[in-house]
Structures are given as C-alpha cells and as structure tokens.
Amino acid sequence: MSNTSLGFIEISGVVAAVDALDIMCKTSGVELATWERKLGGRLVTIVVKGDVASVQEAVETAARKAIKKPVASGVIANPHEEIMRLVELSAGRFMNKAAESTALDARTIQEV
C-alpha cells in the first residue's frame, strides 16, 4: 500500500458529488474507494484512490471545475493502515447496501 493515496472531496449535493467524481475519474487514473452521504444527501464525501500524482491532480481539478465549490478537499499520501481500514469499512457498508438493493430487485422480479 506504500504507493496508494486517498483523495477526499466533500461537496454539497449528490449531483455535484457525481459531477466531481466524474471529473476526478476522467482526469487521471483514480478509482472510487467509497462515498458517504450525510444530512439526507445534502453533504457528500467522495473518496478516491490511486497513486499520489493521480490523486493530487484529480482532487485539484475537481475542486476547480466541479459545478459547486467543495466544502473541503484533501489528499493523504501513503495513509496509515488504520485510515485504510476505516475507508474499507465504509466501502463495505456501501457494498452491503448495494447487494441488499440488488437482492430486493431480484426477489421483486421473481415475484412478478
């Protein structure tokens, strides 16, 4: 994990967050690590991961070009293993919610 970095953008609104994520992924070779919605989606934190230079470029570009100005942004180069564990925990909750949603969709299709 020594070459892995994390980039964070906290922005107001889900649409603005998706726009910022799109900008980050198109700017450089980063990928979505996880995301968190607070206050009913009025405040969204996007976390991306990749190499240091790519993450730095992605966060700076998104902060400059997003449809809304981010509330906060930052980059952690070579994060401590506890930070990575925290991000993985968040990602696990995100993936579990997605899996539950898919399972509900599959049951609904079977019932019809």
Q: What is the pLDDT of residues 14-59, one digit of tens each?
A: 999 999 999 999 998 899 999 888 877 689 999 999 999 999 999 9
Indicate left, alpha or beta for 79 from its phi (over 0: left) and psi (-120 to 50: alpha).
beta
pLDDT at 102 over 60: no
Mean pLDDT of 71-79: 94
pLDDT of residue 15: 94
pLDDT at 78 over 50: yes
**DSSP label at 39?**
G
What's the CA gap between 26 and 24, in Å, rounded?
6
**DSSP label at 112?**
-
Distance of CA 23 to the CA centre of its chain: 12
pLDDT of residue 65: 95
